[in-house]
Amino acid sequence: MVKKNWWKILSLLLLIYTVVAGFLMKVPDLPIIHQSIRNLFFHVCMWFGMMILFIISFVYSMKYLRGFNLRNDIIAQQFAAVGTFFGILGYTTGAIWANYTWITDQSQSLGSVLKEPKLIGAAIALLIYGEYFVLRGSFNDIDKKARISAVYNIFAFAMLFPSIWIIPRLVGSLHPGAPGSDTGNPALNAQKDLDATMRMVFYPAVIGWTLVGVWLANLRIRIQLIKDKSLINE
């Protein structure tokens, strides 16, 4: 059992480490950000996890179109669902973070601060993936649903790049990694922006959260496979 499930144990251990070390370790005390920098271990990891889950979903959609095996469609769907969930969590943690760091004077509301190119891009990406589920809901025929939504999923993945990688690079923003700050990466540059002790928690946290995402998707896939047992012949 341990041989097969070692990664689940690993993810659990890594997350315990993330939470404990993330909240207790000494962090550099920067102006404005102060202790809220600890959110980095949660907020940034959500986006890393989302991107990895979407890549897996994309690969399985391509696999579906190559062999029309319904199993691959279920896998693609569930990974996209968990990826979207991670995206929503990433957006929420970011909004909470922005609430404490970006609002500089009392008259500013959270709504006005959140009108940032980076956040708009992320919201667009999540909307595009939201469409994927709307599209899935609009079919009666299972094979047709699987095929058309696989096509859409590939397209959605392609549109992810302009919305979260390209547009945020073009315009100024309060978010780290805006054109003026010369970091290159649209969100953060782990080599330059983080000090060594933070990196020691950050990388395990990314792996831990991603593994939890895969675990979640894995459970959902298994439930769906049992539900659709009669449809899949292997």
Partner 1 sequence: MTKRIFALLKKDILLEFRQKHTFYGILLYIASTIFVLYLSMDKPDASVWNGLFWVIQLFICVNAVAKSFLQESRGRMLYFYSIASPIEFVIAKILYNIVLMIFMSLISLFLFFMFLENPVSDSLRFMLIVILGGASISIVFTLMSAIAAKANQNAALIAILGFPVILPMLLMLIRLSKSAFGEIFKAGAVLQLAGLIAGLDVLVLAMAIILFPYLWKD
Return residues touching partner 1 (CB under 8 A). Answer: 65, 120-121, 124, 127-128, 130-131, 134-135, 138-140, 144, 147-148, 150-152, 154-156, 158-159, 162-163, 166-167, 170-171
| Placement of tokens 């895969």 in the chain | 214
Residues contacting residue 193 through CB under 8 Å, at least 6 positions apart: 176, 183
Phi, psi of 194 (to 5 degrees): -110, 145
Q: Which amino acid is at 51?
A: M
Report the length, in residues, of the chain.
234
Which residue, chain included where needed, has tokens 């949660």?
Answer: 42
CB of 70 to partner 1, least distance (A): 15
CB count, 10 Å around CB of 101?
17
Minimum distance of partner 1 from residue 64's CB (angstroms)? 10
What is the closest distance, in whole angstroms, from the C-beta atom of residue 33 to partner 1 in the complex?
A: 28
| Minimum CB–partner distance for residue 36 and partner 1 (Å) | 29
Q: Which is nearer to partner 1, 42 or 129 (CB)?
A: 129
Residue closer to partner 1, measured from CB, 82 or 125 = 125
**27 or 164, CB closer to partner 1?**
164
DSSP class of residue 68? Answer: -
When the beta carbons of 10 and 159 are compared against partner 1, the nearer one is 159
In whole angstroms, how far apart are CA 34 and each of 20, 29, 100, 128? 18, 5, 10, 35
CA atoms of 173 and 22, how far apart (whole Å): 26
**Beta carbons within 8 Å of 68's beta carbon, 6+ residues apart:** 143, 146, 147
Q: How far is the CB of 112 from partner 1 (least distance, A)?
A: 17
| Tokens coding 7 | 């990664």
Kindly state the smallest distance separating residue 152's Cβ from partner 1, in Å. Answer: 6
